[in-house]
Structure 1
């Protein structure tokens, strides 16, 4: 359901109050230890957060009339992800601001965990910022302790960085995640990290997606735009064999889909 900016701000302030006034020291230490692990130590790959966010985009809800798309903009000091989903719900915000809460259900056949997966962004940024309709908040780590990983801070439009304000104002209905990098801008470390992020976007990742149809990678450092788009061509089946035996199982009348991936270098067709 749609909520007002005032309601969203009140919700964020309530979460902030609960996080900052939690005084059970033993429990707080235990939670902080788990949060540190989730926030930056859980994944061995420095760009694993990108796979988590792509999976979250796949799991989001979309209007039937639009083509689900994730835009990834990279510049010397930040990454901005913009997704044309329906927008964050209150339950999503609570999951993001909790230790290990998921909004995904078995019935949805989703892989990712919106709350858990979001924690991986702290491997790239100490101040991730989320803008989605009425919701506008960010995190700041390290704070007083690791509870800062789940302690949201409300922001206003004047707090939005100028470098992303144009994209946000152009697509106000999108959900935007702004990640100012941990690394100093214009350094070899930052450029190496951003290069790894770009390489991590494998065009074939869309083959495993049911909803997400388009990835747009915008490298502002080189004024380069790469678009990967999936097109469903039709159904297919194994003509030569009506059944296939694998180990102790027999599969009858296997069928699949013909998928075409369009990139800047042309297109490839797959049977999946």
Structure 2
């Protein structure tokens, strides 16, 4: 069981090592292209990724959920439910190894459903138990010289192909000092209300603002979210009119 003093750092670093251990560059590229298609095509509507994250919050025995947009670009979906444990992190970093598939009381699917967020963002921070890790498309992996060339640029020239890898399943341990100060300050101000948060650098912030406002009015979601929309979801934004 996850306690206040239990760190996820070792789990995250082990997963990062395992999930980037490719035998050939082509293996990394093929997996990356498949995950990119999954994130973009599986959930094509703008509201779905928000719905999936709120489902995951519901499964964590949440009482309150907060949605906020900070600095005109970061969407925060935070809640006061259970902190992440190692199985939860493993679920986020996989596709088929869901931690909830045998629990009929749980509505979301952390791994597969979470991938919807990568259709809307290339940079996602996870906050849990006062710790951070992230999924970051701009973070390269160490080039393996056993792949036959000394560096990535040489391989790309020789093969006339861009090297990419599945950053969506590569969790990166992140210190608090690496987190933007506006996010740290906000989480500190909500320390009693936010135990876990998804912090998403949005590609299209205006569209997401509209979607969040429409979400509480959409019939297909109202039955599931009634208990939150009535009193417990708080919308905050320094740009959009979300109430």
For the 8 Å contact 2:126–2:198, the answer to whether it is kept is yes
Gaps of 5+ in 1: 63-67, 184-189, 227-272
Structure 2 residue corresponding to 1:156, chosen from 164, 175, 180: 175
Give the TM-score, by structure 2 length.
0.76
Are 2:9 and 1:9 equivalent residues in the alignment? yes
The structural deviation recorded for 1:113 is 0.6
| 1:232 alignment partner in structure 2 | none
Gaps of 5+ in 2: 141-163
Q: Distance in 1 between matches of 2:73 and 2:169?
A: 23
Give the TM-score, by structure 1 length.
0.69
Are 2:208 and 1:208 equivalent residues in the alignment? no
Number of equivalent positions: 214
Greater radius of gyration (CA): 1
| 1:177 alignment partner in structure 2 | 198
Q: Distance in 1 between matches of 2:34 and 2:107?
A: 22
Structure 2 residue corresponding to 1:90, chosen from 71, 86, 89: 86
| 1:78 alignment partner in structure 2 | 74
For the 8 Å contact 1:137–1:152, the answer to whether it is kept is yes
Question: Secondary structure of 1:49's match?
Answer: helix
Q: Tell me the C-alpha RMSD between the 2 structures.
A: 2.6
Greater relative CO, 1 or 2 (CA 8 Å, sep 6+): 2
1:54-203 alignment runs, 5 A limit: 54-62=54-62, 68-75=63-70, 76-141=72-137, 145-172=164-191, 174-183=195-204, 190-202=205-217
Deviations 1:66-118 (A, max 9, x none): xx111100242121111111111110100101133211134433332111111
Q: Distance in 2 between matches of 1:180 and 1:86?
A: 24
